[in-house]
Amino acid sequence: MPNLTQFRMAAREIFDEALLAVDAGEAIRRAVRLQGLLLHARDETFDLGNRKVYSIAIGKAAVTMASPLEEILTGKLVAGVVAGNRSGGRPGGDERVKLSSRWQIFQGGHPEPNDQSLAAAQASFALLKHANEERALVILLISGGGSAMIEWPINESITLADLRAANKALVNCGASISEINAVRRAFSAVKGGRLAARAPDCDQITLIVSDVPAGEERTVASGPTLPPPDDAPNALDVIARYNLRAHLPETILRALETESKPDSERTSLREHFVLVDNQSALEAAGAAAGRQGFATEIAGDVSDQPIAEGCAQLLSRLNSLHERAKTQESSRIDAVCLISGGEFACPVTGEGMGGRNLETALRLASARNPGLSESGLFVALCAGTDGIDGNSPAAGAIVDNTTIQRARAIGLDPSDFLKRSDAYSFFIALGDAIATGATGTNVRDLRILLSTA
């Protein structure tokens, strides 16, 4: 029978193996190769001939994707723009991932745009104008977080302060990422395919590290290279649903009411491919748990629920997994692992530090699990694959069936931290925050629950 320390170590090992499986740099190396003048990018082959190649990399994995691409192109790359941030490289910072002087590098803001986000947009516009005149090949590397790291307003009346206020209101309201991006597209000259539309005569290929639900890759970074799906939420409906009108600047509201779509007429090639996504991480975590001897289930449908509902479903499914394991007489497995991903909707209700993973962990620790006996073990690790959770520097946290007891012993009231949206402070006090540093990838969250009955 394993002990609690072994369970906690197992959860971290499962998480770490999942991160390795969604390494954005390795995903580029698997997807792109150059043979003479033939460039293979997943299912497409380009005869470069004398054609020039340009690239724009956007999002939390921008640097991690751009570096191997330049290595693969072996001098064929003329120039590129990186719109990332200081967490754009591997753990330890950007110094461990090097880019040549061919790249203009901008440290965009997150979760709100900054001056560098605007500068990145202007540099990208200039690069695409030049590439279009040459009918070059443009390779666009897109990952989550890019919505804030590259931005330009749809009209000159919208200021950077307006953009920041709008992004803050959207991120904190509890809306899904698809709903948030539907609003962002309406006031942006970059999003919803508008960036790619600036080079209509260029063949373009978009390679995506996806931080959105399966099939919604057009919304990664608010879709700078891809028009929104036909069934995308209506921006004004989102504003009404979350009572956002009073929290958005007038310039933003006017842009929402006069939204126009980019010109989609062109004769050049457009292809896009998702390289890794949340499902990739879930499958890798499931395989890792199986190798450790856990009876494992991936709860793919427990993904984007409101956080309280999602936590309740996780505990219910964990108990059901136990019951099924007990009925398998030929099995000697006495420990189970439930894995889920996605991003729970988590409205911010206070001024504390934390995010949805830290809050999920605290809610799971606080809940009374009727399927767990007094002698049973329970561990849950909830963390973002990008290494960042909300406004905290942590990726998430790990809890077990002693967490609340240990907290109360040092005078911590879990409900008080939940009310203040301050789960990070709670876990720092206990020493149970998960700090990975920047991972250089971004494929949503992982929740790993281990227990014995």
- Write down the residue that tokens 């190649």 correspond to: 53
Mean pLDDT of 216-245: 93
- Measuring CA to CA, how many Å separate 129 from each of 105, 208, 262, 374? 18, 23, 16, 66
- How much is the pLDDT for 91? 35
Please state whether 359 falls in left (phi above 0), alpha (psi between -120 and 50) or beta. alpha
Mean pLDDT of 22-39: 96
Please state whether 314 falls in left (phi above 0), alpha (psi between -120 and 50) or beta. alpha
CB atoms within 10 A of CB 28: 27
Q: What is the pLDDT of residues 64-117, one digit of tens each?
A: 999 999 999 988 999 999 999 864 444 334 445 779 999 999 999 988 999 999
Identify the CA nearest to 315 among candidates 295, 336, 289: 336
What is the domain partition of the chain in residue ranges? 4-17+279-452, 24-276
Mean pLDDT of 28-34: 97
Q: Which residue has the higher pLDDT, 85 or 38?
A: 38
Mean pLDDT of 150-173: 95
Token pair for 293 = 């001897």
Residues contacting 11, CB < 8 A, separation 6+: 379, 380, 381, 398, 448, 450
- How much is the pLDDT for 93? 42
- Measuring CA to CA, how many Å separate 440 from each of 85, 99, 151? 10, 14, 21
pLDDT of 325 strictly over 90: no
Identical fold, 4-17+279-452 and 24-276: no
- How much is the pLDDT for 374? 66
Identify the CA nearest to 289 among candidates 248, 338, 322, 334: 338
Please state whether 452 falls in left (phi above 0), alpha (psi between -120 and 50) or beta. beta
Mean pLDDT of 34-57: 93
Whether the Cβ atoms of residue 212 and residue 219 lie closer than 8 Å to each other: yes
Mean pLDDT of the residues in the chain: 92
Distance separating alpha carbons of residues 383 and 184, to the nearest angstrom: 26
Whether the Cβ atoms of residue 21 and residue 392 lie closer than 8 Å to each other: no
Whether the Cβ atoms of residue 445 and residue 388 lie closer than 8 Å to each other: no
Q: What architecture is the 24-276 domain classified under in CATH?
A: 3-Layer(aba) Sandwich (3.40)
- How much is the pLDDT for 177? 83
- How much is the pLDDT for 265? 61
Whether the Cβ atoms of residue 225 and residue 197 lie closer than 8 Å to each other: no
Mean pLDDT of 30-42: 94
Q: Which of 94-108, 284-298, 347-361, 418-432 is predicted with the least confidence, judged by mean pLDDT? A: 94-108
Confidence of residue 323 (pLDDT cuts 50, 70, 90): confident
Quick check: pTM over 0.95? no
- Write down the residue that tokens 């876990």 correspond to: 427
Distance separating alpha carbons of residues 66 and 62, to the nearest angstrom: 6
Mean pLDDT of 140-159: 96
Give a three-class secondary structure readout of the chain: CCCHHHHHHHHHHHHHHHHHHCCHHHHHHHHEEEECCEEEECCEEEECCCCCEEEEEECCCHHHHHHHHHHHHCCCEEEEEEEECCCCCCCCCHHHCCCCCCEEEEECCCCCCCHHHHHHHHHHHHHHHHHHHHCCEEEEEEECCHHHHCCCECCCCCCHHHHHHHHHHHHHCCCCHHHHHHHHHHCECCCCCCCHHHCCCCEEEEEEECCCCCCCHHHHHHCCCCCCCCCCCCHHHHHHHCCCHHHCCHHHHHHHHCCCCCCCCCCCCEEEEEEECHHHHHHHHHHHHHHCCCEEEECCCCCCCEHHHHHHHHHHHHHHHHHHHHHCCCCCCCEEEEEEEECCECCCCCCCCCCHHHHHHHHHHHCCCCCCCCCCCEEEEEEECCCCECCECCCEEEEECCHHHHHHHCCCCHHHHHHCCCHHHHHHHHCCEECCCCCCCCCCEEEEEEEEC
Whether the Cβ atoms of residue 101 and residue 93 lie closer than 8 Å to each other: no
- How much is the pLDDT for 90? 40
Phi first, then psi: give them for residue 421, nearest 5 degrees. Answer: 50, 50
- How much is the pLDDT for 329? 53
pLDDT of 370 strictly over 90: no
CATH number of 4-17+279-452: 3.40.1480.10
Mean pLDDT of 229-238: 91
Which residue type, as a one-letter code, is found at position 72?
I
- How much is the pLDDT for 174? 84
Mean pLDDT of 131-160: 96
Which residue type, as a one-letter code, is found at position 210?
S
The pairing of strands 137-143 and 53-58 is: parallel
